[in-house]
Amino acid sequence: MYDAILIGGGHNGLTAAAYLARAGLRVIVLERREILGGTCVTEELWPGFKISRAAYVAGLLRPAVVEELGLLRRGLKLLPRRPSSWTPDANGPGLLFGRDEAANLAQIRHYSPRDAERMPAYERVIDRAARVIEPLLDAPPFDPAHPRLADLGPLLKALRAGIALRSDLTEALALVLGSATNGINRWFESEPLRSTLATDALIGAHAGPSTPGTGYVLFHHLMGDTGGARGVWAYVEGGMGGLSAALADAAREAGAEIRTNAEVRRIGLRGGRACAVELADGASLEARAIVSSIDPYHTLQLLGREHAPAEFASTVDATDFRSPVVKINLALDSLPVFHACPDVREPGPWHQGTIHLGAGTMDELDASFSAAERGELPEKPMIELTVPSAVDPTLAPRGKYVASLFVQHAPPRATAEFWEKNRERFADRVLACIDELSPGFSRRVVHRDVLTPLDLERVFGIRGGNIFHGAMTLDRLGPMRPAPGWSRYATPLPGFFLCGAATHPGGGVMGACGRNAAKVIAESLRAER
C-alpha cells in the first residue's frame, strides 16, 4: 500500500510528489499520457521542431520550489526574456519594454508625456502591492472556518506589508479589486500603453478589460521574479518539458514512483473514505491518501457523482470552467520580420519577449471578448506571439524557428461542429492579423498545430481548456478557493485531497499549489499514525 497516490503528472502533481517523498512517504504518480508534465510538456510535433505545446513560458515559478528541490542542478535552465514584451505599431515606434527604465519611458513619452511621468509611480504601486500578496502564495491559506495559529504567520506578514503601503494602499486596492479598464485608465491616457498593460489581466480569463475582477488577474501575472526582477519571465531551455523533467527527477530521487500511460478510471471508496484507484488496464492500487492534481470536473467524474460528497459536487457545478484560449503552435522556415525591424537577419530584441498583436486598444479588447460572448469569433482577436527559438536555438533546426500564439477570445460554448468548421479559418484570420505588422509572416509557416478549448481539454484533460482549473474571480481566491470552508487542499471526503491549479494560490506555472498541498497532506497522514 502507498501512503499517497497522485493522479496527474502535471507540474503541481510532480511537485507535491517530490515533497511528500522527501517527507518519507511512499508515493506514486499516475499520468494518463505517455509523457509527463500535464500542460508543461515539450513535444516534437514535426522533425526537428520542439514545441511547448500548451504552457509556453515560466515566471510565476516559486523560488522556494526551485531552491528546495534543487531544480537548477537537475538540468532546469531558465532563459530570461529581455526585453520582456514588444507592442509594434504601424504608425509609431511601438513599445519595447525591457529593464532600461529610461528607454521604456522614452517610448511611452512619444505617445503621452503625461503617461511617461506617471509610469514610475504606477510601477511602484504594482511592485509594493505584489509584495503584500506574495507571502500568501507560499503557504496554505488562513481559513477563518478552520483557524490555525500556524497559518497566521504569512497573513500577518502580508498585513504588515499592506500597512507599509500607506498612501499607496488605496491605489493598490483600486487596481486589485476593480476591472483592468478602471484601474489602468485612471493612470494612463494613451494607446498602445493601456492595452499592453491590460493583456496581463486577460490571459486565460474569459473576460474583457472592463470585466470586474480582472485587476487581480493582472496582479497575479506580475508576481513572477525569474532572474531576480519582477515581471521578467523566462523560457525553459528545451521547452517547458524541461521543468517537468527536473521535477520528476527530484521526485524519483526522493523515492517516488512515476508511471506514464497510467490512466485512472475510478477512485475507490471504503467506509466513506478514498482509499484506492482503478486503472484503465484493470489494475488497482491502494493508498492512505488519494491526491488529485487534475481539475475538479474530471476529478468528480472519477469519484462518481453518486459517491461524491454533496459539497464537492455542488462546488464543481458552480465553478466557471470557460476558457477563451486558442493555442496555435507554428514551425517557421525563417525569422519573422516586422515593419519596425525589416532588415534583420538574426534574432533581435524584438523577437525575445511577448509580441502583442491584434486587438490594440482597450475598446478592441472588449470587442474581442464581446464577440466571444455572442458565440462569434472576433474579427481582431488578442494575440500574444512568442518566438522562443530566438532565445533558445535548441528548439528548431538552424535557420528555422518555432512560434507560439496565445489567442483570445474564443467563444467558450462553441461545439465540436463549430470548431470543425472554423478551426483553420480562425487560424487563417489570426495569421492575417500578424501579416499586417509582420509582412509575409503567414508565408513563413510550414507547419501549424491549432488547439481550440475543446482540443486543450481532449489532449491535456483540462475542463473547457481552462488553464486555471476554474476562473480566478475574487470569490474563488485564498480561503475561498476552490470553495469556502475547505480551501486547505483537503476535500469533504476523508482521505481525498486536491493539489492542482483549482486550489490556492491558483493557476500558472508556479508549483505553489503542489508544495502547499504536500505540507497539509503530510501533516494529515502523520496525525493518523
| Inside any domain, residue 88 | no
Burial of 436 by CB count in 10 Å (0-12 exposed, 13-18 middle, 19+ buried)? middle
Range of the structural domain that residue 377 is part of: 326-409+415-451
Phi, psi (deg, nearest 5) at residue 203: -55, 120
45 assigned to some structural domain: no
Residue 130 has pLDDT above 70, yes or no: yes
Q: What is the mean pLDDT of residues 99-126?
A: 95
pLDDT in tens, 267-295: 999 999 999 999 999 999 999 999 999 99
Identify the bridge partners of residue 355 per DSSP, sorted by sequence position. 86, 385
* Predicted confidence band of residue 196 (pLDDT cuts 50, 70, 90): very high
Report if residue 56 sits inside a domain.
no
Would 96 be classed as within a structural domain? no
Output 226 or 122, whichever has higher pLDDT.
Answer: 122
Angle at 469 between CA 459 and CA 425, to 5 degrees: 50
Final residue of a structural domain among 224, 253, 273: 224
Domain match, 447 and 497 both: no
pLDDT tens per residue, range 339-368: 877 777 789 999 999 999 999 999 999 999
- Of residues 158 and 253, more confidence is placed in 253
Collect all residues with Cβ–Cβ distance below 8 Å to 150 and sequence separation of at least 6.
Answer: none
HSE value, Cβ hemisphere, 13 Å, CA-based, for 456: 30
Residue 385, SS3 per DSSP: strand
- Same domain? For 144 and 181 the reply is yes
**At 367, which CATH number?**
3.30.519
- The reply to whether 297 and 363 lie within a common domain is no
Interval 243-251 mean pLDDT = 98
Q: Does residue 482 share a domain with residue 438? A: no
For residues 313 and 341, membership in a common domain is answered with no
Residue 162: the pLDDT is 76
In this structure, how many other beta carbons lie within 10 angstroms of the beta carbon of residue 398?
6
Q: Is 490 within a domain?
A: yes
**Which residue reads 465540436 in cell numbers?**
416
What is the number of domains present in the chain? 3
**Does position 261 have pLDDT exceeding 70, yes or no?**
yes
378 shares its domain with 268:
no
What is the structure's pLDDT at 59? 77
Same domain, 246 and 356: no
* pLDDT band at residue 303 under the 50/70/90 scheme: very high
The predicted model gives 188-215 an average pLDDT of 94
Residues with Cβ within 8 Å of 444's Cβ and at least 6 positions away in sequence, in order, are 332, 333, 334, 336
Mark whether 122 and 215 lie in a shared domain: yes
Position 11, amino acid: H
State pLDDT tens for residues 312-340: 899 999 999 999 999 999 999 999 999 87
Check which CATH number belongs to the domain holding 514 and give it.
3.50.50.60
Say if 357 falls within a structural domain: yes
Same domain, 129 and 205: yes
pLDDT for residue 448 is more than 80: yes
pLDDT of residue 232: 53
pTM, entire model: 0.95
Half-sphere exposure of 67 (CA within 13 A, CB side): 4
Mean pLDDT of 83-94: 90
Mean pLDDT along residues 470-496: 91
Q: Would 459 be classed as within a structural domain?
A: no
Separation of alpha carbons 75 and 81, rounded Å: 19
DSSP secondary structure code for residue 58 in this structure? B
Q: Tell which of 191, 224, 257 closes a domain.
A: 224
Write out 151-195 in H/E/C secondary structure: HHHHHHHHHHHHHHHCCHHHHHHHHHHCCHHHHHHHHCCCCCHHH
Distance between alpha carbon 75 and the CA centroid of its chain, in Å? 22
CA angle, 186 as apex, 322 and 408 as ends, to 5°? 25
Per-residue model confidence as pLDDT tens digits over 368-398: 999 999 999 999 999 999 999 999 999 999 9
Per-residue pLDDT at 224: 58
Which secondary structure element, helix H or strand E, spans residue 278, and what is its range?
Answer: strand 273-279
pLDDT band (50, 70, 90) for residue 231: very low
Mean pLDDT is lowest, of 50-54, 93-97, 134-138, 262-266, for 134-138
Cell of 362: 482597450
Strands 354-358 and 85-87: parallel
pLDDT per residue as tens digits for the range 49-73: 999 999 999 878 999 999 999 999 9
Do 404 and 331 fall into the same domain? Answer: yes
Q: Which pLDDT value is given to residue 229?
A: 40
* Orientation angle between helical segments 113-133 and 101-111, nearest 10 degrees: 130
Same domain, residue pair 303 and 337? no
Together in a domain, 205 and 250: no
Question: What are 336's strand-pairing partners?
Answer: none
* Amino acid in position 44: E
At residue 245, the pLDDT reads 98
Neighbours of 356 (CB within 10 A): 23
- Portion of the chain with pLDDT greater than 70, in percent: 98
Measured CA to CA, the distance from residue 160 to residue 164 in angstroms comes to 6
Q: Which residues pair with 5 in a beta bridge?
A: 28, 290
> Given this model, what pLDDT does residue 228 score?
39
Residue 81 in any domain: the answer is: no
Q: Tell me the average pLDDT across 67-93.
A: 93
